[in-house]
Structure 1
Amino acid sequence: MSDILGIFNKLAPQQKIVLGVAVVGTIVLMFVLFGLLNQPSYSTLYTNIHEEDAAKIVDQLNNDKIPYKLESGGKTIQVPTESVHEIRLNMAAKGIPSSGIVGYEIFDNSTLGMSEFIQRLNYKRALEGELARTIIQHNGIESARVHIVVPEKSVFKSEQKSPTASIVVKLKQGANLDKESITAILNFVSSSVEGLQTNRVSLMDTQGRLLSKDHGTDGFGISTSKQYELKQSIENYLSQKAQTLLDNVVGFGNSMVQVDIELDFDQVEKTMETYDPDSQIAISEQTTKTENIGSNMVDSSAQVSENTTVNYEISKTIQRVIQGSGAIKKLTVAAVVNEVPKTIVEKGSSTIIYEPRPQDQLVKLEQIIKNSVGYDINRNDNFSLVNIPFETNISDPLNNEEFSTPGTFD
């Protein structure tokens, strides 16, 4: 020890300062490393919990003097790894959290004396919880709730009602669900519930927006909104075709055409069997030989007979045809054509009068319009063509004295 002090005393003042700082730094570093090594590792206790439940959990942890960490804006709580299971059991015994999603673990505490109604109710709750858990796994969904309504089974099949389901999702900040994700969620839920069809599942978010409005189909059909859009699109297309022809024939502004269609959105499946009598195929052939021998020695003659039976089958073709929906069931066309304007000059003043168009011209116009829109008499389509003068001098209410506003000095 004296040798160390002797060496230290021989050092220059600056060297003593540097050595002292190094010793102090080493001691501080050892304390920091010791603290980090002794710091417990943390694991997730709960995630995606509501604020009310998070407040209850934090309050309970503070009362029990258990260290914790808050992540994801307070929605994830972490506690020491070695205590996570014990803490979770203690929280469950106190009914915390109360908003947790319940799945099939609800049957872990089932009793033998449970009624059939309670069993069905628990199964529905478990199924709803499991579906919600799976939906939450989507990247853009923060939380989800699923409600399933399964009607009681009826003795008569015709009176049996179909089950329905409703899904409410809370999207993450800035997230949106595309059509593929919406379709996937609807199909996932419908395939998880017996007898549930996709068009009986509704999906909405917490903002009140119905996300499944364009997906209410059964795989082949078209949703109601899409039916209206298709109807309106075809009507506008046919009206524009006929209007373009009339504008080139009678002039722009001298005609109007409106088309109304009735579409058939029913899915029709037909199975046809076609038989061809001219085309036969041998499916079996049987030959029978019979030999008759004389009854006495004198009559030694023998007779041999042979009979062949061939079974034929007529060629048969089976076709399964599914007719697409959206076919035009009925067409109604209303067309109005302006009369021909004619200028008459009398005593230096000119007057415009309107004369009806010739009948042969109206017949030609009718034929043009019918051909342009695809008129079919076998479909019971309706058509009307009217030749009347158009009103060109429409009075403006703003310029009419009857509607004028009195001035200040009236």
Structure 2
Amino acid sequence: MSAVADLPVASFPAAAAPAWGGRLATMDRRKRLRLALGVVVLVAVAIAAVVLGRQPDWRVLFANLSDKDGGAVVAQLTTMNIPYKYAEGGGAVMVPADKVHDVRLRLASQGLPKGSVAGFELMENSRFGMTQFQEKLNFQRGLEGELTRSIQALGSVQSARVHLALPNQNGFFREQQKPSASVLLSLYPGRALERAQIAGIVHLVASSVPELAPAAVSVLDDSGKLLSDSGNAGDAAGAVDGQQLQYRQQLEQLYTRRILDILEPVVGRQNVKAQVTADVDFSQTEATSEEHRPNLTAETSAVRSQQTVEVTGAGAGGAAPAGGVPGATTNQPPGPTTAPVNGAAAPLAPTAATAGAGAATAAAAAGAKTPGKRESITNYEVDKTVKTVRNATGQIRRLSAAVVVNYQNIADAQGKSSPTALSPQQIEQMTALVRETIGFSKDRGDSVNLMNAPFLVDATTQAPELPLWKKPETLELVRSLAWPIGLAVIGTIVLFGLVRPGLKAMAVVPAPAALPAPGTAGALAAPGATLDAMLAEEPLRPALASPANGAAPALAATPEVVPEQARLEGARQMARDNPGAVANIVKSWVNGDAAATPAGA
């Protein structure tokens, strides 16, 4: 076939164009069917690979759409000639990943989906001529939307709705109505709000509306259960009880975790179970005590106050004896007296009414001795101690701990392990560890019970580990690679099983003709005939060069003894000197025409 490479380019297509058709016509019918089937299957596999490879990656455009919003979005996508499909039972619309952001922005410019929460941007669309009622209504809707957005920012809240009842404030009313609010929450499946989160929502709404009390805010979930209970006194007590229960559970979990942490390194992670029950006193106690010390001496005591009264006069009673002229003057009451605390009493000043009577009796009383009286009152500070004791809530009154330890697996001399009970000494040591861990108090009445028993393994709860080919991630990988690998395998089978054998059958070429011996006409030996016969049929062809005229090198007498390089050089020389004859020879090889011999002519 090297001689063909040296042929003129213009003559080769004309000579080889009908070659494949002739080879296909000379092939067996079964081989032709196999070749055609292989080509068809190979083309189908290629088309399937291209189609599957060009499938877009779908992404969620909008989720949790209502029927009205979903229909509007789908209608707009159809108008925009954008492919889409449904997901999540029609609640989500998916589009190709490379178009999701563009489509989302284009739909948002058209106000889709309409179910999105609107906030204070409603105030931006104020029209000329709006009434005060419409402006107030837009403000209320905007405030509700802003509160809804804030509440939906919580991780457990899927959606929310806020309703505000804002009364008309009028200065002519004596009693103004207070605003109120209600919040409807839709939580994600398996999620729950803690009491602190509910209180946060209540205070968020109450702080956003003027004069709105937290007690006037109601929070409900999508099942209609009231979550906020701060407005009811009885429910408030229930909330305190809930906090107490939560505190006790946390305390029990703390002691249980301590027991497991101290015993698991000894017996194994799954070989010990523990439970702790705590009796907690949540009562508030306040005690006040007053203590007085015994009386002290006068020298060491502190004087608080002191009063001394000294009275001087005649008579046993300490008063002046009656005297004077009977009458109105003598019956007048005496003047006011003073009793000094310290020192002698000041003398009484005589009045004008009694001046005469005093003068009359002065002579009679002058000779008599007047006795006196002295009183002294001293108040000392009282030594007193007042104590007020308030006991903190949540005091532990009693702890009870129950611990179960599994049997130990001990191997015998043959290496076979069997469950074995713990010794009494080991049980006592573990019990002591548990007592020290929980802070055991005998005065408090604490109790610890540790039991050693074999654990029963439930076959239904302990699922066997799935093999590699049954794991979900492996199955997902196989599904993703099934189509490409399957198409590649089918294409390989078709290519090597059907197409390649047909092509090989079409490419079968007869054995090349032997070069002529020196001294001959220099023609190549064709199958069943010589080149001289072919040249005799076409006298117009120029004669091939021979060693006689020196145009070609001498060749060996037989092909077996002719070197390969010499044969190749002779064929090239023939192609240069007589290309028409060589083209006819190649044509006869391709067509498999055995009629090229003189007999067939």
Fold in common (TM above 0.5): no
Interval of TM-score (by shorter of Structure 1 and Structure 2): 0.3 to 0.5
> TM-score, normalized by length of structure 2?
0.32
Which structure: greater strand fraction? Answer: 1
Q: Which has the larger radius of gyration?
A: 2
Identify which of structures 1 and 2 has the higher relative contact order when contacts are C-alpha pairs closer than 8 Å and 6+ apart. 2
Normalising by structure 1, what TM-score?
0.45
